Amino acid sequence: MPRVSSRFDGLGVGFAPYLQPPGPEVIRWTVGEPGFDTPREIIETAIKGLKEGRTKYTRGPGSMELCKAVAAYLGEHHGISATADDIVVTPGAKQALLYSFLITTMPGDEAILLAPSWASYEPMLEFIGAVPVHVQVNMDNFHPDMDAIRSAISEKTKMILINSPCNPTGAVFTPEEIEEIVQIAVENDLWIVSDEIYARMVWVDWPHVSPASLPEGKERTIVINGWSKSWAMTGMRVGFLTGPPEVVRAAIKSQSNSASHIPTFMMEAARVALGCEDSVEEFNNEYEKRREIMQDGLSSIPGIRVPEPEGAFYLFADVSGTGLSDIEFANGALEAGVQLIPGSLITGGEGFVRVSYAADEDAIHEGLRRLKSWIVDE
């Protein structure tokens, strides 16, 4: 029989081995899934669209009404100047990321990742033939090491990928750090792909700053964002990108020759979501409470160091002080009834575990009790 293309040989699957649903008795601190139901008005609008027959082909980048709403949202919340024509709505932010990688690199080109980074970046780049170059962040606070970034740039480097607030570390880069990354990109004529899916989830005194909001950053930055996290719409698969005109034209070509567009009935629901500010605020208030419970609880367990989680709904805990590897710790935690993700599944994450505090409060308290019982009482 014919062979499967060799492009899949050795291609990673990220966190997948530790994302499989365990038995009902196990508490899951693994999935980046908002711990809330999708707001009712969003669901009702999607249902209404189905009932009204909004199931036909339509404008590929998204309806003009939706794209206008996204452009207005970017200006209001992130200081990014855009028009409806600058927006491409995609089937999830992950699809927008894939388009951005195709737009900024060719096979053999290098892309800088700030390690540890989200597990899907590396295999997505490898899938299209680009070469991920991992640059370790400062492991005390997970912020970028600018000297290391400069040292990693070669003639083959075409793009720097940043994710702030960050999955898996929870780091929120400071405005000064974003400005310096923009300067590095300008000096070396590089693209910046800025994954801003957690941009509304910031728990520190400094704000999230998009490189696209800076004068020298706008012409070279592709912003990736979407509805999954802040509006609890993960399964609805709606994301978007924005960037310079030539990027938008290329993204439209990518989408028209692959996914066409998001489900037509979801376009109005996504537009309505952008106005659900009360839900975003409610969710964020709960995440801040859960963050504090999780951080304090894990920090009280001997051998675990928890750098402050600054944004998103993750913390990246150093478990090396327990005398266990991160794999051993994750496996032991699972036996104790708590599922979490070992950091060594991604480059630069060795000795750490990723924990999601999007879980409900009861699950956080019970998980902490189980871990303490396992670590302290054994």
Of 104, 122, 72, nearest to 243 (Cα)?
104
**Segment 50-86, tens digit of pLDDT:** 999 999 999 999 999 999 999 999 999 999 999 999 9
pLDDT tens-digit map of 296-325: 999 999 999 999 999 999 999 999 999 999
Among 326, 295, 289, 339, smallest CA distance to 116 is for 326
pTM: 0.95
For residue 334, report the phi and psi dihedrals to the nearest 5 degrees: -65, -40
Q: Using pLDDT thresholds of 50, 70 and 90, give the confidence band for residue 231.
A: very high
Peptide bond into 165 cis (omega under 30): yes
Q: What is the pLDDT of residue 32?
A: 86
Q: How confident is the model at residue 377 (pLDDT cuts 50, 70, 90)?
A: confident
* The predicted structure's pLDDT at residue 22: 79
pLDDT bracket for residue 378 (50, 70, 90): low
pLDDT at 15 over 90: no
Give per-residue pLDDT as tens, 336-355.
999 999 999 999 999 999 99
Paired residues of 15 in beta bridges: none
The rounded mean pLDDT for the chain is: 95
Average pLDDT over residues 156-164: 98
Instruction: Give me the domains of the chain, ranges plus CATH numbers.
Output: 6-38+278-377 (3.90.1150.10), 54-275 (3.40.640.10)
Q: Above pLDDT 90, what percent of the chain?
A: 91
Of residues 108, 124, 259, 292, the one with CA closest to residue 193:
124
The answer, yes or no, to whether residue 131 has pLDDT greater than 90, is yes
Q: Can you tell me whether residue 25 is helix, strand or coil?
A: coil
Helix (H), strand (E) at residue 93: helix 93-104
Report residue 211's pLDDT band, with 50, 70 and 90 as the boundaries. Answer: very high
> What is the per-residue pLDDT for 137?
98
Residue whose C-alpha is closest to residue 168's, from 368, 49, 374, 340: 340
Q: Which residues contact 182 (CB under 8 A, 6 or more apart)?
A: 192, 211, 214, 216, 217, 220, 221
pLDDT reading at 205 higher than 90: yes
Report the 3 state secondary structure along 253-294.
HHHHCCCCCCCHHHHHHHHHHCCCHHHHHHHHHHHHHHHHHH
CA 60/CA 1 separation, integer angstroms: 38
> Residue 273's pLDDT is what?
98
**pLDDT for position 222:** 98
- Residue whose entry in the numeric block shows the structure tokens 């990220």: 14
CA 163/CA 220 separation, integer angstroms: 16
Report residue 33's pLDDT band, with 50, 70 and 90 as the boundaries.
Answer: confident
- CA 223 from chain centre, in angstroms, equals 12
Three-state secondary-structure class, residue 10: coil
Task: Using DSSP, state whether 302 is helix, strand or coil.
Answer: coil
CA 319, 320, 321, 323 torsion-angle sign = positive
Give the three-class secondary structure for 145: coil
| pLDDT for 10 | 76
Mode of pairing for the β-strands spanning 239-242 and 87-90: antiparallel
